[in-house]
Structure 1
Amino acid sequence: MDTDTQSGAADATAYDVIVIGAGPVGENVADRAVRGGLKALVVEKELVGGECSYWACIPSKALLRSGSALRAARAVPGAREAATGDLDVSAVLARRDSYVSDWSDEGQVKWLSGAGIDLVRGHARLTGEREVTVGDTTYAARVAVVVATGSAALLPDIPGLADASPWTSREATAVKSIPESITIIGGGVVAVEIATAYTDLGAKVTLLVRSRVLGGFEEFAGKAVADALRSRGAEVILGTSPSSVNRDAAGRVAVSLDDGRVVESAELLVATGRVPRTDDVGLEVAGLEPGSWIDVDDTMLVRGSDWLYAAGDVNHRALLTHQGKYQARAAGDAIAARAAGRALDDGPWGTHAATADHVAVPQLVYSDPEVAAVGLTSAAAEKQGLRVRSVDVPIGKVSGASLHAEGYEGTARMVVDEERGVIVGFTMVGPDVGELLHSATIAVVGEVPLSRLWHAVPSFPTMSELWLRLLEAYGRPE
């Protein structure tokens, strides 16, 4: 075991808080605890910075940005004529490498040290109440232990799949060269983002989707993305499932479908969901099932425990980095407050409560076109028993959008709770709609009445005029 402890405390094994996992969530829990006056240790068996920094959010967006920028240039006369070539794939990959620091966590380790957080490298397991063992050393936590180990790609039980050495998102984002063709099993966010990036980078992409693309979003969002992928040469096959997989001696992969078709490609990516990384962290010490998602309250305290917390993907509330960091802030502050005997503000929208996990989770899909959403879809709102009205507006009719890109195409949907007169869901599809997402998030979180939103005047000529068009379509109160 490589121990890398950075502070010189008298008892190197005693801490107030021990965090298992040094991804963005674990880092933020520890940081908030330290800011609250506690002594914190994080334990990490891989790279400090976690999945997001090296194999997910950061490298995938680096791979996607070059293609997005080129499409944006080609959508504006004048710039279009200057954009005469294709992407330089080696330059794109080199830029990706720079953003992941060539898979070195030296900078992240320095940040921990500067924040006053100790680091131990190795595999951590709970071995008792408030007790974590790494290698031959056992560490004691006076106040709390936090599990922030994240999630891993789910490999479905398809005959031949494991033997075919399929890629997960890790291999797809860390690739050293782009394969000439790739088959992607799945239709969710990872699947469409990799499909978008690889199409930009010259690969022949086939997407195998059991039901519909981006099934958790409004249906028009997935349709727009699927149509765009097809228009750029990708094959999107809906309503099918793989029945078996085989990789031949030459290295090519054949996926047999349940309708009798066979899809062949150089590589295979599986993007069918996530599983918690909790199978070997000693959850049984706290009476929990190893390998399970961990149930927590809004302060991230494990239900039935007074010392064990779980933040980020492992609690299955919202498998998104920004939402995990939000949970981390609530958890770290709650741990510090409890340790100091201060009153806990854990009611709805309280300082120590991750309330937004339930009602206002923003998500941006970096596909072509982008998909940005927060809150409930129209179907989900109706399922909850809300009396809602949905209003759709073509974004291209907004003057700022038509200036932004020639022939701008996109759609925005506002889902309104009719009884309260507030927005409970918002979905946008179109180029660069991600830049409008936070205003929608504020409206949903703040439960801003539509009558008040009429007084939030959008600047002209910006894409934010979309808000006015939606309000006009909904109708002003008498």
Structure 2
Amino acid sequence: MAPTSDTDSASDTYDVIVIGAGPVGENVADYAIRGSDRTAVLIEHELVGGECSYWACMPSKALLGPGAALAAARGLPGARERVGDEHPDRDAVFGWRDAMTHRRDDGSQVDWARGAGLDVVRGHGRISAERTVTVGDRTLHAREAVVIATGSTASIPPIPGLREAFPWTSRDATNIAEVPDRVVVLGGGVVACEAATWLADLGVREITMLVRGDRLLPKTEPFAGELIADGLRSAGVDIRFGTTIGSVDRPDAADTGYGRIHGGTATIGLVTADGEPAGELVVDEVLVAAGRAPASTDVGLDVVGLEARGPVEVDDSLTVPGHPWLYAVGDVNGRVALTHMGKYQARVAGDVIAARAEGKDLSGSRFRATSDHGAVPQVVFTRPELAAVGRTEEEARADGVDVEVVAADIAVAGSAVLREDYRGRAQLIIDRARDVIVGATFVGSGVEELVHSATVAVVGEVPLEKLWHAVPSYPTVSEIWLRLLEQRRV
């Protein structure tokens, strides 16, 4: 449903004003007023529910699910013979994706907001003075707080001809409506790897990933990127490291809408990371997955003396230093660009706003977003999956930790019965001095459900001597915990 100019209240004064009504904005508003007589308003210029609901997390996982189900079936005798080598049914996959995104109709999200006591104002919100936000010709005032929750936008590098070629960004890839025959993917991060996975599932004949660096997912452990690269190659993806786009020529480019092929063929001039020519590619579509930038350039930060672009700096209470009425949560603050971490920050900020409004003490740990520092969990839904939390070995050493690394292939009864050709690996990063885990990485089928136990161990600083008594159920992939701990048994 296209946004309208409706407003749900004639009031111009609220306790809390939130600019951005994605899951992060929704959560901070809800937590700030829940169980009280305080008021809050959400301002949204696109769809209530935000990037995650319509263009990121939900549609991407819906696109990945059918291929993953078929791959799981092909991993076991008896099921393999039934499913064969067929790709998922495109129309059915698109229908499932559209059902998960409500076909970009935000009516149910608006209903939720109203039910939670939140007003909704459609339009672009901009700070126009302290505790004041302007939306069109309307000016809103905040008694307690203004929260910036505007998220981030896809970055398009300044490559000659690239922007003029109307390349796909993540929004096009997740809302794919026409399947190109040949695609080049620029980037080697999470969006690039997941998109390459579902594009292969959907039957794209040629997928070429151009990665400026020397590995995929460079912020994770090296073995994780290697295993995921192996999985993509087995699906037919051509990965070219040390290579990027030097130029794009697409004379028939046209903005045909989300997920539709944007014109005629594109000729891609390739260059090495050093800028040397590396040949050409002719493709039907270009997907740019080269990072995201905080959406902070037009929210009025300059009006209150802040930098009008880049991440909005905050402390652990998510408050902008020097502006006790102003908060920034989620991607826009540049701390962690993950929906679940943005929602975590929103819960902390909402509690802080509520406590300040009620004159309560803020010394408790619930009022500080400490998990942003060294306890961030993440899952990458490639094949195999990657699940990780906390520091990598490199990060831990850089932080001065006396590191012990414990690693093992995932070869347990649980993985053997999960699929015949199971391949995976797990690694723990241990602070030797404190005998606690500060990082964990798992790669393999079914590991996405292992990461929360690792997160609890990291956040809770559970001694490994204590973890020895956390017995994994048999036969599950969780048995890898026992194999890892056995390596330290003396």
Is the TM value for this pair above 0.5?
A: yes
TM-score, normalised with respect to structure 2:
0.94
- For 1:207, the aligned partner's letter is M
- Name the SS for the 1:359 alignment partner: coil
- Equivalence map 1:294-305=2 (5 Å): 294-305=312-323
2:326 maps to what in 1? 308
1:391 maps to what in 2? 406
* Structure 2 counterpart of 1:223, from 223, 226, 229: 226
* Structure 2 counterpart of 1:256, from 261, 269, 277: 269
Q: Does 1:338 align with 2:356?
A: yes
**How far apart are residue 62 of structure 1 and its match?**
0.4
**How far apart are residue 232 of structure 1 and its match?**
1.4
Superposed structure 1 runs of 4+ greater than 4 Å apart? none
* Structure 1 counterpart of 2:367, from 352, 362, 370: 352
1:144 maps to what in 2? 145
- Equivalence map 1:19-418=2 (5 Å): 19-35=18-34, 37=36, 38-84=38-84, 85-203=86-204, 204-211=206-213, 212-249=215-252, 251-258=264-271, 259-345=277-363, 350-395=365-410, 397-418=411-432
Q: Using the alignment, how far apart are the partners of 1:264 and 1:67 within structure 2? A: 27
**How far apart are residue 144 of structure 1 and its match?**
0.5
- For 1:410, the aligned partner's letter is G
Q: Using the alignment, how far apart are the partners of 1:73 and 1:398 within structure 2? A: 19
Q: Using the alignment, how far apart are the partners of 2:49 and 2:117 within structure 1? A: 16
- Name the SS for the 2:58 alignment partner: helix
**How far apart are residue 36 of structure 1 and its match?**
5.1
Q: Is the 8 A contact 1:2 1:120 kept in 2?
A: no
- Name the SS for the 1:146 alignment partner: strand
**Which segment is superposed worse, 453-462 or 14-23?**
453-462
2:260 maps to what in 1? none
- For 2:150, the aligned partner's letter is T
**How far apart are residue 444 of structure 1 and its match?**
0.6
Q: Using the alignment, how far apart are the partners of 1:441 and 1:198 within structure 2? A: 31
- For 1:245, the aligned partner's letter is V
- For 1:406, the aligned partner's letter is E
CA-based RMSD of the aligned residues comes to 1.2
2:257 maps to what in 1? none
TM-score, normalised with respect to structure 1:
0.96
Deviations 1:181-230 (A, max 9, x none): 21000000000000000001101211000112111110111111111111
Q: Using the alignment, how far apart are the partners of 1:399 and 1:2 within structure 2? A: 55
Q: Is the 8 A contact 2:67 2:87 kept in 1?
A: no
- For 2:238, the aligned partner's letter is E
- Name the SS for the 2:227 alignment partner: helix
1:6 maps to what in 2? 8
- For 1:113, the aligned partner's letter is R
Q: Using the alignment, how far apart are the partners of 1:384 and 1:426 within structure 2? A: 16
Q: Is the 8 A contact 2:211 2:243 kept in 1?
A: yes
- For 1:158, the aligned partner's letter is I
**How far apart are residue 285 of structure 1 and its match?**
1.9
**How far apart are residue 345 of structure 1 and its match?**
3.0
Q: Using the alignment, how far apart are the partners of 2:131 and 2:320 within structure 1? A: 13
Q: Does 1:428 align with 2:469?
A: no
**How far apart are residue 4 of structure 1 and its match?**
3.3
- For 1:35, the aligned partner's letter is R
Q: Using the alignment, how far apart are the partners of 1:328 and 1:264 within structure 2? A: 44
Q: Using the alignment, how far apart are the partners of 1:264 and 1:232 within structure 2? A: 21
Q: Is the 8 A contact 1:36 1:337 kept in 2?
A: no
**How far apart are residue 389 of structure 1 and its match?**
1.1
Q: Is the 8 A contact 2:87 2:203 kept in 1?
A: no
Deviations 1:33-72 (A, max 9, x none): 1215221001000000000000000000000000000000
Query: Which ranges of structure 2 fall in alignment gaps of 5 or more residues?
Result: 253-262, 272-276
Q: Using the alignment, how far apart are the partners of 1:3 and 1:39 within structure 2? A: 21
**How far apart are residue 2 of structure 1 and its match?**
4.7
Cα gap change, 1:73 to 1:2, in 2 (>3 Å): closer
Q: Using the alignment, how far apart are the partners of 2:455 and 2:249 within structure 1? A: 45
**How far apart are residue 138 of structure 1 and its match?**
0.2
Pairs aligned (count): 469
Q: Using the alignment, how far apart are the partners of 2:78 and 2:51 within structure 1? A: 40
**Which segment is superposed worse, 264-273 or 246-255?**
246-255
